[in-house]
Structure 1
Amino acid sequence: MLQSDFVGLTGHVKFNPDKSLIGPAYDIINIIGTGVRQTVSKPRGWVFPNNGKQLRIGVPIRVSYREFVSQVPGTNTSKGFCIDVFTAAVSLLPYAVPYQFIPYGNGHENPSYTELVNLITTGYFDAVVGDIAIVTNRTKVLDFTLPYAASGLVVVVPFKKLSTGAWAFLRPFSAPLWGWFGFWEHRTNDEFRGPPKKQLITILWFSLSTLFFAHKETTVSTLGRLVLILWLFVVLIINSSYTASLTSILTVQKLYSPINGIESLKKGDEPIGYQVGSFAEHYLTEEIGISKSRLRALGSPEEYAMALQRDPEKGGVVAVVDELPYIELFLSSQCKFRIAGQPFTKSGWGFAFPRDSPLAVDLSTAILSLSENGDLQRIHDKWLTKSACSSDNTEIESDRLELKSFWGLYLLFAIACFAALLIYFVQIVRKYRKTVSGESISDVQGSSHSRRLRTLLSLMDEKHDQSRGDSKRRKLDRSLSAYDEENDLRRDSNRRQSHISLERGTNVSN
């Protein structure tokens, strides 16, 4: 047959080396203006071939997250993000595709998407349009377009706001090295000498006061100064780090949840929520291995919020597992919850068609064009960009410092003041009793009370005598002064004797 070379009813019959006819059975002629241009591209036609029938496209009747797909009341017309993407993609096809949307579902709860796409294999639907996740089980029997929306299962949990804590200001510091410093310095420095209790207090005071460069003690030993130089450099770094750390602790809002992802849910036995009709139920039980008894079906964002806030023992759940687009829309109006961890599946949403459908290929090209020219993002912003949780307000609120952030400091200050006042009054009372007991009470009762009051006031107003505390230092100073005076007198005496000797030697020589 390949050697055939004759003219028949269809024209000249002869084959090329690639086994194709030399002359095709038809010519493609495009009329452009007054001219004619002949082409060799295969025609696609003006209408998608379906034996003259409209495509029956199944559309889920959603009762929650209606921004993605919803039915116009009283009609078979659908609207939403997914519908707009489909109609925009169809408008880019080089041929017309007649279709009609067929709603699927009872209108009381979200339908099972697995059952919906399986109706394509039975021939009931020619395609399914909606928020259909592209998963392995479905791709075995159906063809999908390229994803027009990124998806994946995520875990959403309630988060608690962690307060900064009353003792947050203590976090930047660890145990200092001033024990060695005190050992080196007390041997040569009188300010670091005294009873062990006094030495310990001085070391602690010196260590803390150097943080603010407010110390008055001086160092005299070489080892002590070496340690102090290193410590002051450490203080410089600590002050900068302390300021930055404390600012972050006091102003940055901290959120906490005991669940940090799907692994935490696998290890526990608490109930988990999922969306009715979603493939999340099958994935959690078959792929993750979570017991079906732990799963709770939830039908709306309101049920999500109520279940997450309720005690698990009273019908609540510790987390909700759902697809990312739903959760993003849920979190745009529910500010008390957050996504824990990262998406643990990677998938997308696409339109489902029978096996080897040319529409799946052509619509994939159209979806790619929508993504490149920005129309896909504009459709997304039209339906899904809305948020009642303002990030600006959250940041402003988190930057405000409250009184409770410092009550630990106030408590320490109050305790120190109270302890100091208590000790002071105990000392005054003891001194008052000694003073009163030594006085002879010979006045009348009224004058006795007035005298005691004056005595108490005088004791409170009396200047504290520090001579006792400084007696050792004064004795040392007097000893040093006497030693210096003695040395001066001895030097003066030696000078006078030297001068007299010189005068006598001069006289003798004369």
Structure 2
Amino acid sequence: MNLSSMRIFDGGQQFLHSLLRMNFTGLSGQIQFDVDKNLVHPAYDVLNIGGTGSRRIGYWSNYSGLSTVTPEVLYRKPPNTSVSSQHLYSVIWPGETSIVPRGWVFPENGRPLRIAVPNRVSYLQFVSKDRNPPGVRGYCIDVFEAALNLLPYPVPRVYMLHGDGRRNPVYNEIVQAVAEDRYDAAVGDVTIVTNRTKIVDFTQPFMESGLVVVAPVKEVKSSPWAFLRPFTFQMWLVTGAFFLFVGAVVWILEHRINNEFRGPPWKQITTIFWFSFSTMFFSHRENTVSTLGRLVLIIWLFVVLIINSSYTASLTSILTVQELTSRIEGIDSLASSNEPIGIQDGSFARNYLIEELHIAESRLVILKTQQEYSSSLHLGPNRGGVAAIVDELPYIELFLSASTCAFKIVGQEFTKSGWGFAFQRDSPLAVDLSTAILQLSENGDLQKLNNKWLTHADCSEQVNEIDHYHLSLKSFWGLFLISGIACFIALVVFFYNIVCQYRRFTPEDGAAAEEGEIQLARPRRFLRSTSFKKLIDFVDMKVDTTKEMIKRKSTDIKRQGSPSSDGHAVSPS
């Protein structure tokens, strides 16, 4: 490279002094340096570049910061670096939009994420302090660590306990600290509620939650009317009505041909009732003769078999399963009373009960530990305890798993929410971790962590399932519909045959016309009533008698219409 021919410049100090003595105005403004070798009044144009063009949206100078006024004008005024005066013209972002895009850049100085963790004193299975690294442990921590392991990039982090360790921290304060940049995130049993989502971003919920009521219960003693409990009132009513209906249908179908369904009126009514309810035990003594009657009876006996089997199974379950009851039926009955209500220390349930349900704050009793939960419920409101406790479902399930079966959840879950990890607004970690939590849920790892840390009591689930053994009409309406259709079809066929036989049994129109003026003089109403009475009498008549009368009548008609020996028809006398 022929380095020997290169010359060495040794006038650096002289060149530096020349630069420091400069004082002129160039294209970028005044060029002058102070004694500290800093540029005097440095200023820049702030440009908004879009495509191939650009537009100036303001200026910057170390004298006044960002502004839309030229620095030369501001130099003649006192310096003003307040936040309210720092503004530029509107920026046009890529995509020709004025909306500021979401963006997040991890710090390149190596500072790890500051993660706030609640320093709890109760329900330590969810999150608690630990002597070993990383300093915290619990179900929520394991879920967070498992989700971070699924991210395609490393996330340096340090866990910072929030709270004094003597009582549960206020979770609204933790979320507010994240919003104020005192923490980068909050990891723990943080409930996603509306006022929190306004200041931070939450991940996808990793645990379903909601407020429930737990109250002391006592065992229900067996009732002498327990045999009625397997069926609801509507089920008993419809079943009894169908027994009578099917009995009446079978009586109609068998009355004309079966001597067991004939006799005096009181005997026939007794037969209907006896036959109806004896089918419940398959002990009916009357035999069905007609085809239609047997069809209806076979379908009905199948329905009775299903009903009997279901009733037996339901009654066995009710008498076998322990049933507990409480005078508190749910949040409505609890809110309408004046008895004290226990809530967990630091929970959002306090604000919800006061602001949403308008419950007096004086009724709320702060409980710090699970032992206080149990003792307060055992004491009751008359001895300084509480009538019930309102808390989130995961806590209550854990409390019931560690206690005896003297308490249970009453009523329904009256709020729907979940637990999530809180991050500062516009953090991409909230989106990426939501995807990771969904992946944990789909591959079963989330359930495995749940089984590792959390257990549930069998008795709390068993006593709440007692209502499932009550059978309602909606479980059997299909069977009743089939039986009803069969009865309807059988009755239609039966009455069609009756009408056909009755038309053969009644006198011909021509024979009736021989009565002449006497027939015309009769009132129409009398004719109709007489015909209906004849029809009823015909239906009540035994079928053998009917056939014999029809046969005899046909013979008489033929005999009356046959010609005599002289060629004239024989007229009736």
TM-score after normalising by structure 2: 0.49
**Aligned partners of 1:154 and 1:343 also within 8 Å:** yes
Cα offsets for 1:85-129 (capped at 9, x unmatched)? 111222223332222111122222211111122222333222211
- What amino acid maps onto 2:426 in structure 1? D
Instruction: Tell me the equivalent position of 2:440.
Output: 370
Q: Over residues 224-277 of structure 1, what are the superposed CA-to-partner deviations in whole Å (9 max), with x where a residue is unaligned?
A: xxxxxx999999977874664355234323443343332222222222111111
Are 1:143 and 2:209 matched, yes or no? no
Match of 2:211 in 1: 153
> Which of the numbers 349, 352, 361 marks the counterpart of 2:422?
352
Q: How does 1:38-187 map to 2 (within 5 A)?
A: 48-49=106-107, 51-73=109-131, 77-169=135-227
Structure 1 residues 83 and 206: CA distance shift in structure 2, 3 A = closer
8 Å Cα contact 1:353-1:360 kept in structure 2: yes
C-alpha separation between the residues in 2 aligned to 1:164 and 1:237?
29
Match of residue 349 from structure 2: 280
Contact 2:212 2:390 in 1 (8 A): yes
- Is the contact between residue 153 and residue 321 of structure 1 (CA under 8 Å) also seen in structure 2? yes
Residue number in structure 2 paired with 1:271:
340
Matched, 1:337 2:401: no
The answer to whether the 8 A contact 2:279-2:304 is kept is no
What letter is aligned with 1:77? G
- Report the 3-state secondary structure (helix = DSSP H, G, I; strand = E; otherwise coil) of the residue aligned with 1:138: helix
Partner of 2:504: none
Shift of 1:132: 0.7
Contact 1:76 1:103 in 2 (8 A): no
Q: How big is the shift at 1:211?
A: 7.0
Please tell me the root mean square deviation across aligned C-alpha atoms, in Å.
Answer: 4.7
Structure 1 residues 300 and 238: CA distance shift in structure 2, 3 A: farther
Shift of 1:347: 1.6
Q: Deviations over 1:58-77 (max 9, x none)?
A: 11111111111011148760
SS for the counterpart of 2:402 is coil
Contact 1:62 1:69 in 2 (8 A): yes
**Gaps spanning 5+ residues in structure 1: where?**
1-14, 21-43, 178-184, 193-199, 219-229, 399-510
CA contact (8 A) 1:164 1:249 kept: no
Alignment of 1:325-474 (within 5 A): 325-334=394-403, 335-384=405-454, 386-389=455-458
Closer, same or farther in 2 for the Cα pair 1:52/1:206, shift >3 Å? closer
Contact 1:89 1:366 in 2 (8 A): yes
Task: Establish whether residue 297 from structure 1 lines up as the match of residue 366 from structure 2.
Answer: yes
Q: How many residues align?
A: 345
The answer (yes or no) to whether the contact 2:408–2:460 under 8 Å persists in 1 is no
Structure 1 Cα separation of the partners of residues 380 and 446 of structure 2? 41
Shift in alpha-carbon separation, 1:248–1:316, aligned structure 2, 3 A? farther
Equivalent position amino acid for 1:343 in 2: E
**1:141 counterpart letter in structure 2:** I
User: Partner of 2:375 in structure 1?
Assistant: 306
How far residue 130 of structure 1 moved from its aligned partner, in angstroms, is: 0.8
- For 1:316, the equivalent position in structure 2 comes to 385
Q: Give, as a single letter, the amino acid of the residue that structure 1 aligns with 2:440.
A: L
**Percent of aligned positions that are identical:** 51
Match of 2:44 in 1: none
SS at match of 2:213: strand
Task: Report the secondary structure of 1:288's partner residue.
Answer: coil
Q: 1:376 to 1:393 in 2, by over 3 A?
A: closer
Aligned residue for 1:338, secondary structure, equals strand
Confirm or deny: 8 A CA contact 2:400 2:460 kept in the other structure.
no
Residue 101 of structure 1 aligns to a residue whose secondary structure is: strand
Q: Do the aligned partners of 1:48 and 1:97 also contact (CA within 8 Å) in 2?
A: no
Distance 2:417 2:308 in 1: 45
Q: For residues 215 and 92 of structure 1, what CA distance do their matches in structure 2 show?
A: 71
> Is the Cα–Cα contact under 8 Å of residues 345 and 366 in structure 2 kept in the other structure?
yes
C-alpha spacing 1:49/1:337, structure 2 compared with 1 (3 Å): same
Structure 1 residue 260 and structure 2 residue 329: aligned?
yes
Aligned equivalents of 2:428 and 2:148: distance in 1?
Answer: 13
Q: Could you say which residue in structure 2 is the equivalent of 1:403?
A: none
Q: TM-score normalised to the size of structure 1?
A: 0.55
One-letter amino acid matched to 1:265: L
Distance 1:78 1:317 in 2: 33
Structure-2 separation of matches of 1:392 and 1:134: 26
Q: Could you tell me how far apart the structure 2 residues matched to 1:360 and 1:170 are?
A: 55
Deviations 1:345-364 (A, max 9, x none): 22211111222223223322
- For residues 299-341 of structure 1, give each alpha carbon's deviation from its aligned partner in whole angstroms, at most 9, with x where no partner exists: 2233223322332211232222111221222233333333233
Q: Report the 3-state secondary structure (helix = DSSP H, G, I; strand = E; otherwise coil) of the residue aligned with 2:356.
A: helix
Letter in 2 for 1:371: S
2:538 counterpart residue number: none
